[in-house]
Chain A
């Protein structure tokens, strides 16, 4: 029985100071027992002699300096994992909330995990077909990649994420897959949208849900994504599954991190977020990937809302520096009715080059992709010019480019949330659009491929 302390000295926000402790370790898990018998969890942030500064994982309501008891458990926060977690719903702290029986864990794992040895990583290179042209054709997702969706308030990121979760597959394989979904501070409705979507397709039996809603304690959110990733690592690297992890919404997570940092009176970095936020986010994002000698994989799609649509805000900025690309949603396209409103020019998948081409998608993929990007970019410039100077100011070729840009948005990007296009369809639509342009303009495609596809 661990020793109990009644020496809580201070409680302020998510922090608590406990005095005269002995043998307490940094990062150790603690439990606070309230007078009514309920138990809250916390972890040691700093240990200085006999003073332990702890961070609460749950609400501080009801903690009493005199009567509440604290005990330290000699381990860090763990999650009991087992294959039975599939199809179950947990709260942000990993307790079941679906009225089902408790999970009998195969093993207990530290939620912080261990950093992956860079020499042990296998490079992600298997093409995942999401059925969304703007992703498959231009910003290709591969197994083991971390590709966030940069959204903004009011944009349909949930629809896109649900569509990806529904349609994603590796063509020609029947390997076991699973979805791990972590909700951090989102509304009941948004969370329910995902749950319903998983239920409709029957994917719910292959899904593990960790739900921390907007009215749940903010500090709990710091543990939620780590819980989800611990479950994902177990399923991927012990049970050989291909796991898709959806984390939404990272913005709420970062705000919780800022709250703890502010309570500790740390020197803030940009916009009040702690200076170590890059490292902290990396410790989650980097858990995606593939490992040598293991069959499974973790593919991660974190979703974040950019405050004021500002991509230079620290949350999207630091995320973009860690993740392997980003899918950016655009308000302008959304207003035009383009669904999904993916802004392909600033979007990027860093790992696409290894996942496309002969034997993976098709030989013409890389070249058409570059050509579509270049042509759409020029078309958009032409349209911008047209707005200022009128159509007459455009050269003939620029007019064609402007027409191309419109057709591209309408036929290629806009496809709705329930159309599942194969990669061949996506590439063929690409060629259909490129035929709007004269052959001499297609400088990024070599003659052999032009002969084969353009002249068709």
Chain B
């Protein structure tokens, strides 16, 4: 183990001499307080270290010790339901250990509880041949998550011994006879965060990640294994949208990274998730969620590490064959942490002071998402979907972080301050947003929900597009100058916005909408336009069409409980037909 001496301290950057034997990206312990740091640059004898804790009180002459391992996380039973900081220290564990509500330095708490016992059920027998990625047994971690214990990377051989029963994460549960000797396997393994976990093969995503959010599922869907970005100015609902996705996404595991954001937002998640029920399993949402919280007042270097910590945990569950959804809020704060370290290292800045490698780092992160066939004989298929919030200064997405992100992601949910001011939530702008997965996952909707799903979606989108152009005219000459057909279009578009796209995340029923209900809603708002247009042609008056009573019922359909949607849908349709024929009839008389 090589030991050096501090030479310089400037904020989170420490330079130490006598570090010739250390490796790049080794974890180091800095000063007598043993603060955790990571080597990010080497110049001869000198190592530049980013320290993951507050450095005040550190000075030249204090020791620096290299641990000779890269920054790693612990993977095993006990992850689900935990809240960790950026370098996987359990925040509730720190609270217990220090007995304080504040974060003091140099606290060492294991990421996985060493005393907890887990019931291990082996799935291999003595004498079986196993290789990296093969499952040797399972642990029922929570009522909804079965953790599959996998043979760590780099180990292959014959099972010499396999145990059954209750074990801690450090107990040996299996001994494998490899070519290089015996390997003892425990429930826990480690993996360096900056390296993606290996897999056999990557395959393109083909299925949608259903989120229960109408503007997302119907208009701009994301694939299981896809990547999406939500940029938007403050107050436009980035965090609420991220929370909604974390709550209702049809994923087996959710990893939520609060990266440089508000402390109260993490508290909100901690309070709310255990109370909410997963619509699929009926169990508490916390039973499938892992939180990483490195809030804005916590050390900036650990913020940089937090997204790697999060995605490594996500990959681990992906390798078990699960569909994992990862939310990072916000990647801009991560980029700022990168910028701060880059500035301290006196690197030549790129755009707006960000380092020149910003784009490539972002790309490397997002590329760890995807649908893969895992290692091992089974060839499990797992998906890792990544959704990153971006906080562009002033809401202007021409800035470097937004632009670098847009080059990578395939779904763009552009949040709009004007919509937010009108309290239209989610404030996702339907004209600027896009999803490049439509071609690959669109057919899935047609096959599994309704044959004309994509068709209907396209019709609604065109109406919204027409509304935008008509609005230009209305601004110049007023509503009266529009033809009755165009007035109807405007009314229909308003109905799409208010009755379909607007979704109240605080309403018990409206917060989640099944695909069938989404389809019914789209059909209803379109039926108004379709039948209205025909009625106009047959002589009905636009004024009467706009005032139809059934429209209020269409508007309230979003509050219909899932159990009644079919009956209510039928009734509204009947009423619509009746009212329209009434109007047409009136003209005949």
Q: Are A23 and B101 in contact (CB under 8 A)?
A: no
A283 at interface, CB cutoff 8 A: yes
B544 at interface, CB cutoff 8 A: no
- Residues in A with CB closer than 8 Å to B234 are 317, 320-321
Our pick among B9, B91, B340, B352 for the contact of A276 (Cβ within 8 Å) is: B340
Q: Are B102 and A114 in contact (CB under 8 A)?
A: yes
- Residues in B with CB closer than 8 Å to A45 are 10
- Residues in A with CB closer than 8 Å to B140 are none
Q: Are B83 and A348 in contact (CB under 8 A)?
A: no
- Residues in B with CB closer than 8 Å to A398 are 479
B 507-524 binary contact with A (CB < 8 Å = 1; else 0): 000000000000000000
A334 at interface, CB cutoff 8 A: no
Q: Are A366 and B506 in contact (CB under 8 A)?
A: yes
Count of chain A residues with a beta carbon within 8 Å of a chain B beta carbon: 79
A 344-378 binary contact with B (CB < 8 Å = 1; else 0): 01101011010000000000001000100110010
In chain A, positions 278-319 with a C-beta closer than 8 Å to chain B are 278-279, 282-283, 286-287, 289, 291-294, 311-314, 317-318
Our pick among A28, A118, A275, A312 for the contact of B263 (Cβ within 8 Å) is: A118
B422 at interface, CB cutoff 8 A: yes
Shortest CB–CB separation between residue A434 and chain B, in angstroms?
15
A24–B11 Cα distance when bound, in Å, is: 14
Q: Are B478 and A393 in contact (CB under 8 A)?
A: yes
Q: Are A46 and B10 in contact (CB under 8 A)?
A: yes
Minimal Cβ-Cβ distance residue in A for B263: A118
A25 at interface, CB cutoff 8 A: yes
In chain A, positions 35-67 with a C-beta closer than 8 Å to chain B are 45-50
Minimal Cβ-Cβ distance residue in B for A386: B478
A113 at interface, CB cutoff 8 A: yes
Q: Are A25 and B7 in contact (CB under 8 A)?
A: no
A120 at interface, CB cutoff 8 A: yes
- Residues in B with CB closer than 8 Å to A122 are 267
Q: Are B262 and A286 in contact (CB under 8 A)?
A: yes
Q: Are A270 and B393 in contact (CB under 8 A)?
A: yes
Q: Are A112 and B479 in contact (CB under 8 A)?
A: no
Interface centre among B297, B423, B559 (most CB of A within 10 A): B297
A12 at interface, CB cutoff 8 A: no
Q: Are B102 and A117 in contact (CB under 8 A)?
A: yes
Minimal Cβ-Cβ distance residue in A for B296: A282
Which stretch, A217-225, A261-269, A405-413, touches the partner chain B? A261-269
A192 at interface, CB cutoff 8 A: no
Q: Are B8 and A373 in contact (CB under 8 A)?
A: no
Shortest CB–CB separation between residue B518 and chain A, in angstroms?
19
Q: Are B101 and A294 in contact (CB under 8 A)?
A: yes
Q: Are A275 and B95 in contact (CB under 8 A)?
A: no
Which stretch, A164-172, A244-252, A322-330, touches the partner chain B? A322-330
Which stretch, B54-62, B64-72, B318-326, B404-412, touches the partner chain A? B54-62
Interface centre among B57, B59, B258, B506 (most CB of A within 10 A): B59
- Residues in B with CB closer than 8 Å to A48 are 7-8, 10, 15, 60
Q: Are B267 and A118 in contact (CB under 8 A)?
A: yes
In chain B, positions 90-121 with a C-beta closer than 8 Å to chain A are 91-92, 94-95, 100-104
Minimal Cβ-Cβ distance residue in B for A398: B479
A440–B552 Cα distance when bound, in Å, is: 8
Q: Are B60 and A389 in contact (CB under 8 A)?
A: no
Minimal Cβ-Cβ distance residue in B for A119: B91
A103 at interface, CB cutoff 8 A: no
B582 at interface, CB cutoff 8 A: no
- Residues in A with CB closer than 8 Å to B475 are 385, 388
Q: Are B506 and A353 in contact (CB under 8 A)?
A: yes
Known A353-B506, A393-B478; judge A27-B393 contact (CB<8 A).
no
- Residues in A with CB closer than 8 Å to B92 are 119
Q: Are B264 and A124 in contact (CB under 8 A)?
A: yes
Minimal Cβ-Cβ distance residue in B for A346: B421
In chain B, positions 36-77 with a C-beta closer than 8 Å to chain A are 55-61
Shortest CB–CB separation between residue A124 and chain B, in angstroms?
7
- Residues in B with CB closer than 8 Å to A47 are 8-10, 59-60
In chain A, positions 105-161 with a C-beta closer than 8 Å to chain B are 112-124, 144
- Residues in A with CB closer than 8 Å to B343 are 266-267, 275-276
A395 at interface, CB cutoff 8 A: yes
Q: Are A26 and B333 in contact (CB under 8 A)?
A: no
Q: Are A28 and B267 in contact (CB under 8 A)?
A: no
A76–B56 Cα distance when bound, in Å, is: 8
A3 at interface, CB cutoff 8 A: no
B431 at interface, CB cutoff 8 A: no
A258–B391 Cα distance when bound, in Å, is: 22
Known A123-B271, A124-B264; judge A115-B9 contact (CB<8 A).
no
A321–B572 Cα distance when bound, in Å, is: 43
Minimal Cβ-Cβ distance residue in B for A377: B422
Shortest CB–CB separation between residue A90 and chain B, in angstroms?
23
- 5 closest A-B pairs by beta carbon, nearest first, are A312-B394, A27-B56, A393-B478, A282-B296, A286-B297
Residue numbers of B with Cβ under 8 A of A are 7-11, 15, 55-61, 83, 91-92, 94-95, 100-104, 233-235, 258, 260, 262-264, 266-268, 270-271, 293, 295-300, 333, 336, 339-340, 343, 349, 352-353, 391, 393-396, 417, 421-423, 474-480, 498, 506, 552, 555-556, 559
Residue numbers of A with Cβ under 8 A of B are 23-28, 45-50, 76, 112-124, 144, 237, 266-270, 275-276, 278-279, 282-283, 286-287, 289, 291-294, 311-314, 317-318, 320-322, 324-326, 345-346, 348, 350-351, 353, 366, 370, 373-374, 377, 385, 388-389, 393-395, 398, 440, 443, 446
- Besides A48-B8, A294-B101, 6 other A-B contacts (C-beta < 8 A): A23-B61, A118-B266, A267-B353, A270-B352, A283-B297, A370-B423
